[in-house]
Amino acid sequence: MIALPALVLLPAIGGLAAWLSGQGDRPTHLPWWVAIATIILQTVLLLVVTLTAGFGTGPWLGHFSIPWIPALGIAARMDMDGLSLVLLWLTTLLSFPCVILSARDIGERPGLFLLLVLTTIAGVDGVFLATDLFLFFFFWELMLVPMYVLILRWGHEDRRRAAIKFFLFTQGSGLLMLVAILGLVILHWRSTGTLTFDYFALADTVLTPATAMALMLGFFIAFAVKLPVVPLHVWLPDTHTQAPTAGSVLLAGILLKTGGYGLIRFVVLLFPDAAARFTPVALALGVAGILYGAWLSLAQDDMKRLIAYSSVSHLGFVLLGVFSGSPMGMRGAVVQMVAHGLSTGALFVIAGSLQDRLHTRDMRRMGGLWQALPHLSSVALFFAIASLGLPGMGNFVGEFLVLLATWRISPPTAILGAAGLVLSAVYSLTMIGRAFLGPPATGPDPDHAGPDFGVRQMTVLGLTMALLLVLGTYPQPILDLSLPAGPHATQPEAGRP
Amino acid sequence: MDALFLKLIVAFPLLAAAILLLSAGRMPARATCVIGTGSVGLSALMAARVATHATSPASLHVPLWSWMRVEGFSTRIAFTLDPLSLVMMLVVTFVGFLILLYACGYMRDDPDIARFFGYMTLFVAAMLVLVFSSDLLSLYIGWEGVGICSYLLIGFWHIDSANVAAARKAFIVTRIGDAAMLCGLLLLATRAGTLEIAPLLAAPPASATAAFLLLGGAVAKSAQAPLQTWLPDAMAGPTPVSALIHAATMVTAGVYLIARLHPLFAAVPAAMATVALIGLVTLLLAAGSALVQTDIKRILAYSTMSQIGYMFLALGAGAWQAAIFHLVTHAVFKALLFMAAGAVILRVHHRQDIYQMGGLARAMPGVFAAFLAGAAALAGLPLLTAGFYSKEMILQGAWHANPLLWAGALLGALATAVYIFRCIFIVFFGPRHTDPTGRTGATMALPLLCLGILALVGGWIDMPDAIAPVHLLSRLLSPLFGAPTAEGPSWLLWTGSLVPLAGVGLAWLLWRPRIRAFTPPEDAVARLARTGWGFDTLYDTLVVRPFVALGRLNQTDICDRLSDATAATARAGGRMLGRMQSGQVRRYAGWIAAGTIAALCLGAWP
């Protein structure tokens, strides 16, 4: 299916075009329009891919492969299953708020900004598709570098430190993954005599339990940093806080999901036995993330930090679901990823808009914003309620299925996870109460709170709300799609060409 | 046809909520009232149609759509109409309609009236989902949905931070119960593979844990001890909200849940005993608090808690019909009391302290009559009031379960009559402390009239055999709950009738109109009772403050400090190593010499 590499190339080319179109001397909105055209085209392309792949034609829905560096057994191989498809859709949908809402008001070098945003998206798309481990690593790096530049150039007051921290953490853990990849490839070469980076071939490697555990840990740590898993989450609050709005949305909405995706595809499915032995630790880490993230979230004064820690808490559910060892938990984890992407992405848009208007993220200096910004505030209220897991919205479906799957293997873990739901109500409502309700703050003049959300913002965020409601009341299509295809499921070549 | 009506009963308020909330306040107040009240009115009409039509006790099942279907678990959104949900439907739509009509007058001048009616209709829709759901997980949608509407409406006047704090407290305390309930659902779903109520009850998995976890949810939602602390603060909301959510419907959801799942509870005697005990403790504690309150709405809030305590007592005693009967009559008379109190509050310039009112009976005879009817029903004055019959049924049930429960409930009945007539004597009799202005409009008076009549005669649907053999409600509910137990000796009935009268007499002795003005009691016990027996302080010191303080202490994240420490170590190490490259040949020569010696030593090592 030639469309798979096109899904990666299109945003990259569109980004280049946006950059080139912004090279003139006069400031212009042209790059912005080019970027919008790109993501619309991307949506159309993805729709075509979805329709041609069809529903239920087998676990693997699409396949593409050409040799790349044959001498080393490296191919440009991509395969798409339902999990990839769901996450590709999430990426494409979230590129709309990134581009339409936040990239519009970038003062300097909008072309370059959009180039970086779109290459990050291209890298993420590649990560969700690549089934050659070398290609996967390539895309893994591709999405990090532009994000690093985004934070470094367009970030807030403490951006340099945050960018370096982000880079060190992700790069360091990426190196660990590279070592694990090479180890796996070499072991496979030793035992079979063929040198290959192919995911499906490597899945058949015979490993001793100890080596399997060591290699799995290499992958696990890389993805755990990304997800993030406590205590490897420390890069996230700083990075989120300092990143420009589009960067925060990309990070929370999509980049973190590559961690969850990697855990499913390259930890649980590639090393099933080692992962099963690792389950108790993973469950403990997941529940620790849920509770620790929520606890720290409610202690924050900085709104973006609060949302960032709430992400740590929400994604703890993903870790629980992935390691629950049942398809139910896996499906729940995927729904949780999608719902978290939508709700937290929107919350970052809101926090970013507030920062643009009030020039602060400090909730001690906000308060009573509902009077000045009723539309923005009611949208924030909606997403805060979604984020606390109200039934009828997407987050609840994810959390419920994950907890149900967890209850089967360990009721105490599930009870602790459910306690996280109480804390999520505390921090979500605290945020709403401190920033939007109560008497108008004495800090920034409420009359200068700037304009309320207009048609553009309300349309994009309104659609996001509708998606969350649909996901919460009729999640079945996502649930059906979201079970990942294992490397042994059926030969992907047997799928459509 | 009935299936369609059932869907429409929920759809109308939901649609109205969507219209009102999306209109973002651009709609004129009158249209807002018409849409908000009209939608619930239509639902009430349809409910009446369904109720009169569905005379057969067979239940109506309306599957809507499959919600989640995964390996080993599936759940669907589906409605069921059976006698229990029929009764609840009528309460929610009719009382809801009257309260919304009242709210048209009460909230007339509020600039945010669209948001108010949007939340209120959303609440009605969520409450109906809760009542109709035939699957525990879709019931949970309504369960949490009414919770969030309660949050939004308690904090409706959000400029005052006290209201916002009260709203947050209400949601979080009930969320603790909700989390317990969710755990109960997880347990049941794991055991049975389904959360559909009918199969669950056909073969109840006798699980004490599940019963207790579900009870946790019911206790928090219905403001029973020990999770009752949120309800008095919830009075921060507009009075129609207190009437609808915190008296008539949402707070009784816990009672509904236990009644709905009664085979699950009946199979676990320890759970039944706990339910009864919780009910008894709450009804006495709350009645004690109500005796010394000074805020008219807080009196009613504690009274609500106490009356739901009666319902829990009945549930724990296995008198299911009695609990539901009291739920119905309580919805009527407590909504009436709240709305009458609201009318008083509006006329006396938003004052709520009863000691600042006094002598209002002559100034507002209609409101006084309504309040009196509600108070008489609440106190359970014999024969003439609805509350008498439902409370009598509970007392009978308690007597059969355990005479001690009966004695406690009787003590509570005495206290009830005393505190509500204390309120009447102080507010409506004696010297006047404030001059009421304005008049109570028709939209507010009409609901008072309707509920006032119902509060008096509504109890006649079910009477003890000694008075008249009418058993409409018991008979309606008997397919679900089985035949009610036989009545006890007739002196039970006499005692139950005389105790409320004695309470009124006691209140007259203590607070009868005199020239001298009253002051609230100020001894230690009264102060403790006024603050709800110190539960708030206890939770604050034991849980809230340590938790928040520890969080504050760790605001900068200890894990982050560790990574910073790593960075600092690396930097310091780099600086130290960097010092070696000082550029002085002497130093380099020294290092070379040291290295050579070390190498030689290593080489010479055997």
Q: Please check whether residue A181 lies inside any domain of the structure.
A: no
CB-based contact A426 B172, cutoff 8 Å: yes
Rounded to an integer, the average pLDDT of B569-580 is: 86
User: Is residue B426 included in any domain, yes or no?
Assistant: yes
Q: Is B62 helix (H, G, I), strand (E, B) or coil?
A: strand
Alpha carbon distances (Å) from A384 to A167, A379, B184? 30, 9, 25
Residues 80-139 of chain A with CB under 8 A from chain B are none
Residue A121 domain flag:
no
Q: Does A434 touch chain B (CB under 8 A)?
A: no
Neighbours of B45 (CB within 10 A): 16
Non-local CB neighbours of B481 within 8 Å, separated by 6+ positions: B259, B262, B320, B321
Give chain A's domain count: 1
Nearest CA in chain B to A386: B148
Q: Are B297 and B239 in contact (CB under 8 A)?
A: yes
Q: Do A421 and B563 lie within an 8 Å CB cutoff?
A: no
Minimal CA separation from A395 to chain B, in Å: 13
- The pLDDT of B358-365, averaged and rounded, is 88
* Token representation of residue A496: 């459509």
Q: Does A229 touch chain B (CB under 8 A)?
A: no
Q: B563 pLDDT band (50/70/90 cuts)?
A: confident
Q: Give the mean model confidence (pLDDT) for residues B466-475.
A: 86
The Cβ-side half-sphere exposure at B163, using a 13 Å CA radius, reads 17
* Minimum distance, in Å, between the CA of residue A302 and any CA atom of chain B: 10
Residue to substitute from A291, A379, A426, interface B, most B β-carbons within 10 A? A426
Q: What is the largest CA-CA distance in chain A?
A: 72
Please say whether the beta carbons of B99 and B335 come within 8 A. yes
Q: Is B30 within a domain?
A: no
pLDDT tens-place string over residues A394-450: 999 999 999 999 999 999 999 999 999 999 999 999 999 999 998 887 655 555 667
pLDDT of residue B56: 59
Min Cα–Cα distance to chain B from A436, Å? 9
A343-353 pLDDT, tens digit each: 999 999 999 99
Q: How confident is the model at residue B57 (pLDDT cuts 50, 70, 90)?
A: low
pLDDT digits (tens, 9 = 90+) for B253-300: 999 999 999 999 999 999 999 999 999 999 999 999 999 999 999 999
Q: What is the pLDDT of residues A285-334, one digit of tens each?
A: 999 999 999 999 989 999 999 999 999 999 999 999 999 989 999 999 99
Contact B137 A400 (CB under 8 A): yes
Residue A405 lies in a domain: yes
- Output the six-digit token pair for A224: 């755990």
* pLDDT at residue B557 tops 50: yes
DSSP state of A99: I
Chain A residue at shortest CA distance from B184:
A415
- Cα A225 from Cα A236, distance rounded (Å): 9
Q: Distance, in angstroms, between B164 CA and closest chain A CA?
A: 6
Mutation for A interface: B20, B70, B150, most A CBs within 10 A: B70
Nearest CA in chain A to B544: A426
Which residues form the domain of B356? Answer: 269-527
Chain B residue nearest residue A169, CA to CA: B563
Residue A380 located in a structural domain: yes
Q: What total of structural domains would you count in chain B?
A: 1
Whole-number pLDDT of residue A156: 87
A392:B548 CB<8 A: no
* DSSP three-state, residue B53: helix
Instruction: Tell whether B227 is covered by a domain.
Output: no
Residue B225: its pLDDT value, please? 87
CB contact under 8 A, B70 and A327: yes
pLDDT for residue A495: 40
B112 touches chain A (CB under 8 A): no
How far is Cα B147 from Cα B282, in angstroms, rounded to an integer?
21
> Quick check: A438 and B137 CB within 8 A?
no
B513 belongs to a structural domain: yes
d(CA A207, nearest CA chain B) in Å = 30
Please name the residues between 357 and 386 in chain B that touch chain A, using a CB distance below 8 Å.
none
Cα of B177 to nearest chain A Cα, Å: 9
Instruction: Tell me whether residue A225 is in a domain.
Output: no
Between chain A and chain B, the number of residue pairs with CB atoms below 8 A apart is 140
Position A47 scores a pLDDT of 93
| Closest chain B CA to residue A385 | B148
Give dist(CA B24, CA B40) in Å, integer.
20
CB contact under 8 A, B69 and A400: no
CA distance A68 to chain B (A): 39
The shortest C-alpha distance from A247 to chain B (Å) reads 21
Contacts of B183 in chain A (CB under 8 A): 407, 414-415, 418
B392-438 tens-digit pLDDT: 999 999 999 999 999 999 999 999 999 999 999 999 988 888 888 88
Q: What is the 3-state secondary structure (H, E, C) of B521-532?
A: CCCHHHHHHHCC
Locate B469 and state its tokens.
Answer: 């053999």
pLDDT of residue A448: 62
Q: Cα angle vertex A60, ends A57, A61, to 5°?
A: 60
Pull the structure tokens for residue A108.
């300097």
The alpha carbon of residue A419 is apart from the nearest alpha carbon of chain B, in Å, by: 6
A477 touches chain B (CB under 8 A): no
Residue from the list B69, B141, B190 with its beta carbon closest to the beta carbon of A407: B190
- Evaluate whether residue A419 is within a structural domain: yes
CA–CA dist B419, B295 (Å, integer): 12
Band (pLDDT 50/70/90 cuts) for residue A56 is low
Q: Which residues is B69 bridged to in the sheet?
A: B74
Asked if B351 contacts B345 with a C-beta cutoff of 8 angstroms, the reply is yes
Chain B residue closest in CA terms to A415: B183
B65 interaction partners in chain A (CB closer than 8 Å):
474
A433/B164 CB distance under 8 A: yes
Q: Is B166 part of any domain?
A: no
In this predicted model, what pLDDT tens digit does every residue of B507-529 receive, in sequence order? 999 888 875 667 777 788 888 88
Least confident of B90-94, B362-366, B379-383, B515-519: B515-519
**What residues 480-519 of chain B have any CB closer than 8 A to a CB of chain A?**
none
Question: Is residue A493's pLDDT more than 80?
Answer: no
* Torsion on CA atoms A483, A485, A490, A495, rounded to nearest 10: 90
Question: pLDDT confidence of A494, banded at 50, 70, 90?
Answer: very low
Q: Which structural domain range is residue A416 located in?
A: 285-485
A92: in domain: no
**Chain A, 230-249: which have a CB under 8 Å from a chain B CB?**
230-231, 233-235, 237-238
Optimal mutation site among A404, A406, A421, A459, interface B, most CBs of chain B within 10 A: A404
Residues of chain A with Cβ-Cβ distance to B194 below 8 Å are: none
Q: Which of B557, B562, B566 to mutate to test the interface with A (most CBs of A within 10 A)?
A: B557
Contact between A421 and B178 using a beta-carbon 8 Å cutoff: yes
Residue A224 counted as domain residue: no
B88-102, B263-277, B443-457, B543-557: least confidently modelled range: B543-557
Determine contact: B73 vs chain A, CB below 8 A: yes
